[in-house]
Amino acid sequence: MPEQVPVVERIMSANDQLASSNRARLDEAGVFAINVMASPGAGKTSLITRTVEALRDELRIAGVDGDIATTLDADRIAALGVPAVQINTGGSCHLDAAMVQSALPQLPLDALDLLIVENVGNLVCPASFRLGAHRSVLIASVPEGDDKPYKYPVMYRGVDALVLNKMDVLPAFDFDVDYFRKGVEPLNPGLAFFSLSCKTGEGLDDWLNWLRSEVKGYVSGGSGQDTRD
Amino acid sequence: MHELSVTQSILEIALRHAEQADAKRIVRLNLVIGELSGIIDDSVQFYWDMVSSGTIAEGAKLHFERVPAGLCCLACEHTFPLNGRNYVCPECGGERVVAAGGDDFRLDSIEVE
Sorting pLDDT into bands at 50, 70 and 90, what band is A145?
Answer: very high
Q: What are chain B's domains?
A: 3-68+102-112 (3.30.2320.50)
Query: Which of A9-23, A24-38, A123-137 is predicted most confidently?
Result: A24-38
Kindly determine whether residue B23 and residue A3, on different chains, have CB atoms separated by under 8 Å: yes
Which whole number is the average pLDDT over A205-213?
98
Cβ-Cβ contacts under 8 Å, B112 against chain A: 2-3, 5
| List of residues 6+ apart from A131 with CB closer than 8 A | A19, A22, A33, A35, A95, A96, A97, A100, A117, A119, A229
pTM summary value:
0.87
Query: Tell me, what's the ipTM?
Result: 0.81
The beta-carbon neighbor of B106 closest among A4, A8, A93 is: A8
The beta-carbon neighbor of B99 closest among A4, A129, A157 is: A157
The CATH superfamily holding the domain A13-219 is: P-loop containing nucleotide triphosphate hydrolases (3.40.50.300)
Q: Tens of pLDDT along B46-102?
A: 999 999 999 999 999 999 999 988 888 888 999 988 877 788 899 999 888 888 888
3-class SS shares of chain A: helix, strand, coil, % to 5:
40, 20, 40
Tell which B residues from 27 to 66 touch A, by Cβ distance under 8 Å.
Answer: 27-28, 31, 36-39
Q: Tens of pLDDT along B20-55?
A: 999 999 999 999 998 888 788 888 999 999 999 999
Q: Tens of pLDDT along A22-72?
A: 999 999 999 999 999 999 999 999 999 999 999 999 999 999 999 888 888
Task: Tell me the C-alpha distance between A168 and A179, whole Å.
Answer: 18
B2 lies within 8 A of chain A by CB: yes
Smallest CA–CA distance, residue A149 to chain B, in Å, is 9
Please state, rounded to an integer, the average pLDDT across all residues of chain A. 92
Amino acid of residue A91: G
pLDDT of B95: 83
pLDDT of A222: 60
> Helix A13-29 and helix B3-20: axis angle, to 10°?
100
Residue among A107, A93, A116, A99 nearest A45 (CA): A116
> Nearest 5°: phi and psi at A196?
-155, 175
Cβ-Cβ contacts under 8 Å between A and B: the total is: 110
Smallest CA–CA distance, residue A169 to chain B, in Å, is 24
